[in-house]
Amino acid sequence: MKKVIFCATLLFVAVLTQSFSKIPICITCNLNGEIHTDSPAIVPPGYYPFKLGNFTITVISDGTLLMPLEHLIVGTKPGEVEQALAGHHRASPTETSANCFLVNTGGQLILVDAGGGEIFKAGGLGHILDNLAAAGYRPEQINAVLLTHFHPDHTGGLLRNGKIAFPNADIYMHQADYNILFGASGEKDQSENAGVIQILGLYKAGGRIKTFNSQSVLFPGITAIPAPGHTPGHTCYMVVSAEKKMLIWGDIVHAADVQFADPNAAVVLDANTTQAIAERKIIFAEAAKEGYLIGAAHISFPGLGYVGLNGDQYEWIPVVYSTGNKVQLFK
Ligand SMILES: [Zn+2]
């Protein structure tokens, strides 16, 4: 009896020919009846470009993290998280995307969030610069990085090999988050923010950090909209071009399978749970009513979709995969 052969190419060829016995050698890996143990990790492409009006936006993946959602999500009924995950054919720990959004306005390149970078390399992140390169951009071309908040899975990618990763970029962040890191809010224990302080400190030393206090137009077509709760300075960014709108919402949702159905489900990482829940409800309601596109940091890559309202329950409606095809063959 033949050995079971774990090789996708060989399996594919065998299925095509309807014979396992006639195809002893895998055309890709030259595997000759041996168990395939050294196959490379499967890493799908990590960038997704699309048009929003006259802008080109590219979602850049920094990778994924395995999140133990049954411990991270709070304010739910017993078993609610497990049930919601099972209902979506998932389990905890749940593979959770870290998405960044590059807005090419035609005149400027503006990145929203920088991923976890080297800080989270061991946890599966740190791919932003490779995926940026794959999408055809170099870090020195980036004019600005807008931060949704200061947490390290959004700011770690600002560093590369101990140096600033985006040498020509200004960093934009809410004053309240800046104050937490750089002392003005009087935080006593800064040990858990030490890595982020070090990274953003490099940009601060170069005079590259710009802050805002309230809703502000930062660039033509890009408006910062504070949505505090997850952090005091947590901010969403509304991008508008030729009447097309997209809200890049940062960490409004960490567990799509749970939080659309139950916006009261919060994450332990929230600085102010009550405020974070209230903001989530406001943003869900407006996004469902207005129907604009959402770009989400932690919803499965590319994290693009719409908030739907089914009865009295919100739902996530992901965009379809698009190549921009305008040709209709079947009529
Ligand atoms: Zn995050």
More confident residue, 117 or 242: 242
Instruction: Report CA(193)–ligand 1 centroid distance (Å).
Output: 14
Looking at residue 184, its pLDDT comes to 67
How sure is the predictor about 185, in pLDDT bands with cuts at 50, 70 and 90? low
Is residue 136 a part of any domain in this protein? yes
- Give the E-state strand segments of the chain in sequence order: 47-52, 55-67, 73-74, 94-104, 109-112, 144-146, 159-160, 163-164, 170-174, 209-212, 216-219, 222-226, 235-241, 244-248, 266-267, 293-295, 304-310, 313-318
Q: Per the domain annotation, does 84 fall within a domain?
A: yes
pLDDT at 329 over 90: yes
| Ligand 1 centroid to residue 114 C-alpha, Å | 11
269 and 250 inside one domain = yes
35 shares a domain with 142: no
Residue 274: exposure state from Cβ atoms within 10 A (0-12, 13-18, ≥19):
exposed
CA of 301 to the centre of ligand 1 (A): 14
- Give me ligand 1 centre to Cα 229, in Å: 13
- Highest mean pLDDT range out of 8-17, 181-190, 255-264? 255-264
Shared domain for 26 and 58, answered yes or no, is: no
- CA distances 82 to 58, 90, 140, 265, 328, Å, are 33, 9, 43, 13, 43
Distance 287 CA to ligand 1 centre (A): 20
Whole-number Å distance, alpha carbon 74 to ligand 1 midpoint, is 16
CA 98 – ligand 1 centroid, Å? 7
The verdict on 73 and 90 lying in the same domain is yes
Do 187 and 284 lie in one domain? The reply is yes
Say how many Å lie between the CA of residue 331 and the centre of ligand 1: 44
Instruction: Calculate how far, in angstroms, residue 69's C-alpha sits from the geometric centre of ligand 1.
Output: 13
Query: Are 218 and 248 in a shared domain?
Result: yes
Asked if the model's pLDDT at residue 97 lies above 50, the reply is: yes
Total number of domains constituting the chain: 2
User: Residue 26 above 90 pLDDT?
Assistant: no
Q: Which pair of structure tokens corresponds to residue 279?
A: 């903001």
- Looking at 91-235, list the stretches that DSSP marks H as alpha helix, in order from N- to C-terminal side: 128-134, 152-155, 175-182, 194-205
Give per-residue pLDDT as tens, 214-223: 999 999 999 9
**Is residue 15 domain-shared with residue 69, that is, in the same domain?**
no
Which is nearest to 85 in space by CA: 71, 99, 98?
A: 71
pLDDT band (50, 70, 90) for residue 191 = confident
**Shared-domain flag, residues 142 and 25:** no
Q: Which residues pair with 209 in a beta bridge?
A: 171
Å from CA of 153 to ligand 1 middle: 5
Within this chain, do residues 23 and 51 fall inside the same structural domain, yes or no? Answer: no
Could you read off the pLDDT of 124-161 as tens digits, one per residue?
999 999 999 999 999 999 999 999 999 999 999 999 99
CATH no. for residue 96? 3.60.15.10
Structural domain span for residue 14: 1-40
Distance 222 CA to ligand 1 centre (A): 21
Ligand 1 midpoint to CA 34 (Å): 43
DSSP 3-state of 285: helix
- Looking at the fold, whether 104 and 232 belong to one and the same domain comes out as yes
pLDDT of residue 183: 82
Q: What is the rounded distance in angstroms from the CA atom of residue 273 to the CA atom of residue 264?
A: 9
- Give yes or no for residue 32 having a pLDDT over 80: no
- Distance spanning both ends of the chain, measured CA to CA: 52
Instruction: Kindly state whether residues 18 and 149 are assigned to the same domain.
Output: no
The Å distance, Cα 29 to ligand 1 centre, comes to 39
